[in-house]
Chain A
Amino acid sequence: EAQVTQNPRYLITVTGKKLTVTCSQNMNHEYMSWYRQDPGLGLRQIYYSMNVEVTDKGDVPEGYKVSRKEKRNFPLILESPSPNQTSLYFCASSTTWSGGMSPLHFGNGTRLTVT
């Protein structure tokens, strides 16, 4: 089954303790991206990757790191989480071509709480 898999679904951690949220897709998609969703602010893009070893900042990259060492995986790293990073996080992927991009496929989300 074609899917985007995020782990974990729920995570409670403390300020400053490094964590990684994993994202994996089995559709051979070139494009992958991370978003956070907050009440009143909606969805905002954190980082995206057009292909392996190619990453770029979205609108809210501060406090986050990403890497794209292989096509299927795009982990989101919080080196020193803070309470303002408490949020619902989504990963998404799509295929791309010279003329555009296909519809997005989203993971099920990761609800992160930083105390």
Chain B
Amino acid sequence: KNEVEQSPQNLTAQEGEFITINCSYSVGISALHWLQQHPGGGIVSLFMLSSGKKKHGRLIATINIQEKHSSLHITASHPRDSAVYICAVRFGAGGTSYGKLTFGQGTILTVHP
């Protein structure tokens, strides 16, 4: 069974701290998404990556295909970063299975002032 594991499940930080959220998956993938969901809010796509590293503002996402692992980093964390962070993996390599997504359980991040 294709599985996606996130860690930690809960993360509490002080404002300004460097934060890392991890995502591991069981088999080779086509792409990995990082999503953000604020309390009571909708879901926003932060990154989609299949190799290497992407950066947007204070957010950095990396993926290591050989180790089947991705990390989401937040530098200089702020209380407005408090949200649930979810990784989602596309295992399909082609055909209609290309559209199937499997999600991690999510990481609840709380950043205190």
Contact = CB atoms under 8 A, between A and B. Distances in A.
Given A100-B31, A101-B90, A106-B43, A43 B103 contact: yes
Contacts, number: 65
Given A42-B103, A48-B99, A49-B99, A106 B86 contact: no
A46 to B, nearest CB: 11
B interface, by DSSP: helix, strand, loop or mixed? Answer: strand
A49 B98 CA distance: 10
7 contacts: A43-B106, A45-B100, A48-B100, A50-B99, A56-B96, A101-B48, A104-B48
Interface of B: 30-31, 33, 35, 42-45, 47-48, 50, 86, 88, 90, 96-106
Interface of A: 31, 33, 35, 42-45, 48-50, 54, 56, 58-59, 90, 92, 96, 100-109
